[in-house]
Structure formats: C-alpha cells, structure tokens
Amino acid sequence: MAQRKRQLVSDELTEAALQLLALKGFDAVTIDEIVKAAGVSKRTFFRYFASKEDVVVQFLAGMGTGIRAELAARPADEPPSVALLRAVWVPLGECEDHGDRALRVVRLILRTPALLARFLERQARWRDDLAQELARRLGTDAEADLYPRMAAGMALNAFDAVLHRWTEGDGAESPADLIDRAFEVIAPALDAAGGRRGPS
C-alpha cells in the first residue's frame, strides 16, 4: 500500500513537472511552481527528485526500459534489421502512447542543452545494451567484433533522426511510419553484415 502511494505521488509530481516544463520551458519553471501544481510540499518533491532535471531523466529512463529485453525476445532467425527495429520501437511506442505530451517533452529535451546531454548519456547506455545483446544473439564478442556496436549505433541514429523529424514538424507524422522509413535506409547494411554471422 505504501509503495503504491509513493508511486502515485511520484507520478503526480512527474506529470505536473512535465506539463509545466513543456509549456513554459525548462529555465522558466521553478520547483515552487511544480509543487504548487502537484499539490505537495517542496520537501515532498525533494524526497523523490534532486532537481527539475531529474524529473525529465526519470521520464527518459522509463522510455528505454525494455529495449534490450525486446531484442532478446525476438526470434533467433529474424534478420538483424527487423529485430533492431522492434527493439528501438520500445521507446518510440512510449512516445506514441503519450501523444501530445510526449511530443512536447521530447521537444523540450532536444532544445534544452542540459537535458539533451542527459538524453545522449541514456542513449549511450541503450547502445551498449543493444550491442551486448546483438553479440549474444550472433555468438560473437561485442568487444572484438565491430558489427554489434556499429549495428546498435545505426539503429539508434535512426531513432534519433526520427525524434528530430517528429518534433520539428507538427507531430502529424507518426513515429511508427518514420522509423519504418528510416530502417528502409539502413536495413540492407544491417542484414548484409549481420546475415553472414548467424546465431551460434
């Protein structure tokens, strides 16, 4: 029960903060405004988050939680391009599920240097996770073989390009359509190199 209550408070704080930050911009929002909007005390805010930045970082952490698990769950004989597409769809699916709010928050992240730096840190972890999982699937060594890291990087570059295209427009283009088009560009290279190895 206590855990559920903590989660509810955290969710309310996150929602209030993200709405305000997306509406007014990162630098314009104070913690006092966030706690007022969420109906909690400043002390409560600091029980959950160390800063405004941490609120957004937690949102980012949630975005990519299942990315490696999705790759691991893909069929062993699936082409690398398909398996990686399904894996990077995990964070994009989070964006689609949250619609306009996600669009505003991702815009905020991409346009705020401090948040963009944290986002790129997060993506670097995703790349390492994907490279390790790809190496496992292909029966190779992620340190010795260039392919897993390069393939993971290509997939996340496609993901990044999709986010930029999606946020620069009015949100009318679906992330799902954009990622499919991005992977049409990189799939031949992913499968030509990855297909020569095959699962062990």
The continuous run of DSSP H or E covering 71 comes out as helix 67-73
**Percent of the chain residues past pLDDT 90, beyond the cut:** 40
- The rounded distance, in Å, linking the Cα atoms of 57 and 83 is 26
Residue 171 region, left (φ>0) first, then alpha (ψ -120 to 50), else beta? Answer: left
- Long-range Cβ contacts of 73-79 (<8 Å, 24+ apart): 74/137, 76/137, 76/199, 77/199, 79/187, 79/190, 79/191, 79/194, 79/195
For domain 2-49, give the CATH number: 1.10.10.60
Say which range, 28-37, 101-110, 138-147, has the weakest mean pLDDT.
101-110
Residue boundaries of the structural domains of the chain: 2-49, 57-194
How far from 159 is each of 37, 45, 51, 74, 91, CA to CA, in Å? 33, 32, 27, 19, 9
> What's the pTM value of the predicted model, to 2 decimals?
0.81
- The rounded distance, in Å, linking the Cα atoms of 135 and 138 is 5
Q: Which of 6-15, 118-127, 156-165, 186-195 has the highest mean pLDDT?
A: 156-165
- Give pLDDT, residue 195: 53
Say yes or no to pLDDT of 181 above 70. yes
Say yes or no to pLDDT of 131 above 60. yes
Question: What confidence tens digit (pLDDT) does each residue in 140-167 have?
Answer: 988 889 999 999 999 999 999 999 999 8
- Give pLDDT, residue 171: 66
Choosing among 3.40.50.2300, 2.60.40.1180, 3.60.15.10, 1.10.357.10, the CATH entry for 57-194 is 1.10.357.10
What average pLDDT does this structure show over 19-32?
89
What average pLDDT does this structure show over 21-43?
90
